[in-house]
């Protein structure tokens, strides 16, 4: 029988946990509509000026405080350039890490070779290594081989650890598959490529999709590693926001953070929807 005291304590703990996790996000979203341009913690009144400024829709015909708020926003061109860099890096990183991670998971699950356990352990290492250690290591590596820091070094740096995330997710999906389906396909005369394309990959599709979405979100959100391996003219959105924070917490930072949260929710919801359709 259920213990009422235990279930009450568990419910309180669960509510406290969710409040601890999500309260800061709601605070950021709330203050992104604060019109006070000096101290965001002092509520003035509700406004969309920070969003209008970020989207380049600020009304220059206004005068007084409204116009000052619009002019206070950082350069929209710089922010959009940083966003384009982040999207480009995330797209290439997601594609490369998904292909490598999926292929590695299939190889380790279906083939036997020497030092298989050691290779599996090395794939886990980038996930367990602190970001600052990995960032410094990549920076030293690029400098040692004489490679100029650019968008390419950011993509390589992100693939270094995001491949591990995709590998683990696809590997977990592989563990739940029945090898008899692949054996039946081979018995019916299908080649290895046909079996891979028509039997194995459709079953792995939810795991591959989940790994790709996770890689995309982490790549868009990464700051530490990107900070070390980015070139002078290749500023991503997290690095751009970090530079703004170092000069003071301005109201438009909350607006940018809110848009990032909204984009993350949309990506996660899209992934769940596609996964449910694939499952059905």
Band (71; pLDDT cuts 50, 70, 90): very low
What pTM value is reported for the model? 0.78
Q: Which of 222, 215, 211 is nearest to 85 (CA)?
A: 222
Of 275 and 181, more confident: 181
178 within domain boundaries: yes
Task: Say what the pLDDT of residue 101 is.
Answer: 92
Task: Say what the pLDDT of residue 277 is.
Answer: 58
274 within domain boundaries: no
CB 161 within 8 A of CB 225: yes
> What is the CB neighbour count within 10 angstroms for residue 252?
23
The 10s digit of each residue's pLDDT in 18-37 is 899 888 888 888 888 887 77
Q: How many domains does the chain have?
A: 1
229 within domain boundaries: yes
131 within domain boundaries: yes
6 within domain boundaries: no
**For the domain that residue 139 is a member of, what is the CATH number?**
1.10.3720.10
Percentage of residues of the chain with pLDDT beyond 90: 21
129 within domain boundaries: yes
Most confident range (mean pLDDT) of 120-129, 163-172, 194-203 is: 163-172
Report how far residue 66's alpha carbon sits from residue 219's, in angstroms, rounded to the nearest whole number: 36
155 within domain boundaries: yes
Query: Taking residues 209-218, what's their average pLDDT?
Result: 88
**Range in 60-69, 123-132, 153-162, 236-245 the model is least confident about:** 60-69
Domain interval for residue 172: 76-249
125 within domain boundaries: yes
Query: Taking residues 90-111, what's their average pLDDT?
Result: 90
> What is the CB neighbour count within 10 angstroms for residue 225?
23
Task: Say what the pLDDT of residue 226 is.
Answer: 93
Spatial neighbors of 217 by CB under 8 A, at least 6 apart, are 264, 267, 268
């Amino acid at each position: 029988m259920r213990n009422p005291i235990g279930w009450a304590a568990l419910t309180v703990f669960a509510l406290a946990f969710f409040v601890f996790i999500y309260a800061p996000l709601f605070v950021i979203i709330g203050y992104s509509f604060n019109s006070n341009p000096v101290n965001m913690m002092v509520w003035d009144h509700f406004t969309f000026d920070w969003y209008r400024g970020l989207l380049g829709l600020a009304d220059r015909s206004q005068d007084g405080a409204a116009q000052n708020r619009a002019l206070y926003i950082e350069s929209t061109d710089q922010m959009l350039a940083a966003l384009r860099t982040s999207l480009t890096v995330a797209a290439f990183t997601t594609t490369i890490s998904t292909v490598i991670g999926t292929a590695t998971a299939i190889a380790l699950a279906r083939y036997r070779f020497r030092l298989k356990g050691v290779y599996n352990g090395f794939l886990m290492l980038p996930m367990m290594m602190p970001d600052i250690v990995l960032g410094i290591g990549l920076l030293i590596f690029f400098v040692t081989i004489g490679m100029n820091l650019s968008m390419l070094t950011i993509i390589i740096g992100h693939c270094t650890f995001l491949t591990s995330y995709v590998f683990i997710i696809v590997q977990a999906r592989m563990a739940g598959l029945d090898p008899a389906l692949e054996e039946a396909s081979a018995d019916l005369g299908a080649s290895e490529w046909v079996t891979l394309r028509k039997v194995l990959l459709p079953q792995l599709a939810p795991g591959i999709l989940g790994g790709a979405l996770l890689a995309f979100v982490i790549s868009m959100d990464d700051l530490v590693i990107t900070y070390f391996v980015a070139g002078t003219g290749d500023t991503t959105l997290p690095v751009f926001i970090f530079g703004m924070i170092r000069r003071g917490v301005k109201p438009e930072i909350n607006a940018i953070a809110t848009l990032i949260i909204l984009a993350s929710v949309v990506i996660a919801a899209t992934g769940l929807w596609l996964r449910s359709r694939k499952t059905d």
